[in-house]
């Protein structure tokens, strides 16, 4: 997993932008309006997301249309999935330990 992806998504406004783009392409103005921020601020955040290759941008007339790229998020999902196995193993061991404690309490 690319550290740039994680770093870009660590900022709350950028994470919200990714969530908005999940539903389809948007202009900078639409993103700024939906987040309640100014357009220059939205543009700066979108530049970071573009540099991290999380979004693609294409000019259309005098607007820039931003679209979510699935690859970085798929890489992140794979990375997170590797931890899921670790967590599930630990939860299974905790469950077994709690069951053992319950059996001990019943015999007392």
The separation between CA 80 and the C-alpha centre of its own chain, rounded to angstroms, equals 11
pLDDT in tens, 18-53: 999 999 999 999 999 999 999 999 999 999 999 999
Q: Are 45 and 11 in contact (CB under 8 A)?
A: yes
Q: CA-based diameter of the chain, in Å?
A: 78
Per-residue CA distances from 14 to 47, 67, 101 (Å) = 10, 13, 46
Least Cα distance to 14 among 81, 79, 4, 74 occurs for: 4
Q: Are 62 and 48 in contact (CB under 8 A)?
A: no
Which of 5-9, 37-41, 81-85 comes out lowest in average pLDDT?
Answer: 81-85
pTM for this prediction? 0.76
């Amino acid at each position: 997993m690319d550290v740039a992806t994680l770093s870009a998504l660590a900022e709350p406004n950028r994470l919200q932008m990714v969530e908005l783009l999940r539903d389809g392409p948007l202009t900078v103005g639409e993103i700024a309006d939906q987040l309640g921020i100014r357009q220059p601020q939205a543009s700066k955040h979108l530049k970071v997301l573009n540099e991290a290759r999380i979004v693609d941008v294409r000019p259309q007339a005098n607007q820039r249309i931003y679209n979510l790229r699935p690859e970085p998020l798929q890489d992140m999902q794979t990375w997170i999935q590797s931890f899921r196995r670790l967590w599930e193993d630990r939860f299974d061991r905790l469950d077994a330990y709690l069951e053992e404690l319950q059996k001990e309490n019943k015999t007392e």
